[in-house]
């Protein structure tokens, strides 16, 4: 049975924003490994559209960026959206019965399925489907933006903490 994990970079004040801060090289290598080892990724529409950036090579990319793009392209993806009618290569659209579809994925697959997007994660949290939350805390204060928890956070218990790279602390929580 697969485990559903919600993991994102987050500011000290709880916001996620890929344009306002980025992982250092060590943490970026960690993310490459996470993508490569995951069973797949469930995206909300907005984050999926942002991540489609990795579908086409950019001649200015570094070797690490190329490696991330290759890992992302190879990853199985499920996209939750009521507005999209199609998705790109390697992706499957989920447009109805999201909780049921995710339950089936968890039952049918092994390993970790990662969740991308705070709004999607909130719905899956409310359905009791997320098994683990990983907050990669960066020493940045944004003051506004999309919060990691899009609604009231569930009762959680800390199960691990570690430093990754020069600045990020990963806090791992499970539902209490």
Q: What mean pLDDT is predicted for residues 57-83? A: 97
Would you state the pLDDT for residue 18? 84
| DSSP for 50-90, written as a single string | HHGGGGS--TT--HHHHHHHHHHHHS-EEEE-SS-S---TT
Give per-residue pLDDT as tens, 3-61.
999 999 999 999 999 889 999 999 999 999 999 999 999 999 999 999 999 999 999 99
Would you state the pLDDT for residue 153? 87
Would you state the pLDDT for residue 116? 93
Give per-residue pLDDT as tens, 116-173.
999 999 999 999 999 999 999 999 999 999 999 999 889 999 999 999 999 999 999 9
Q: Which domains does the chain have, with CATH numbers?
A: 3-175 (3.40.430.10)
**166 close to 26: Cβ distance less than 8 angstroms:** yes
**132 close to 58: Cβ distance less than 8 angstroms:** no
Would you state the pLDDT for residue 19? 87
């Amino acid at each position: 049975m697969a485990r559903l994990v919600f993991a994102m970079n987050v500011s000290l004040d709880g916001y996620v924003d890929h344009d306002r801060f980025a992982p250092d090289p060590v943490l970026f290598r960690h993310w490459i490994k996470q993508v490569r080892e995951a069973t797949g990724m469930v995206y909300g529409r907005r984050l999926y559209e942002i991540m489609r950036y990795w579908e086409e090579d950019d001649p200015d990319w570094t070797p690490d960026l190329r490696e991330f793009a290759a890992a992302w392209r190879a990853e199985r993806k499920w996209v939750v959206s009521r507005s999209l009618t199609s998705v790109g290569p390697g992706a499957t659209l989920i447009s109805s019965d999201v909780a049921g579809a995710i339950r089936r994925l968890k039952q049918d697959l092994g390993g970790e399925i990662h969740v991308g997007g705070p709004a999607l994660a909130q719905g899956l949290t409310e359905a009791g489907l997320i098994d683990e939350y990983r907050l990669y805390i960066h020493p940045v204060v944004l003051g506004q933006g999309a919060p990691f928890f899009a609604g009231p956070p569930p009762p959680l218990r800390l199960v691990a903490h570690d430093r990754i790279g020069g600045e990020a602390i990963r806090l791992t929580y499970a539902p209490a």
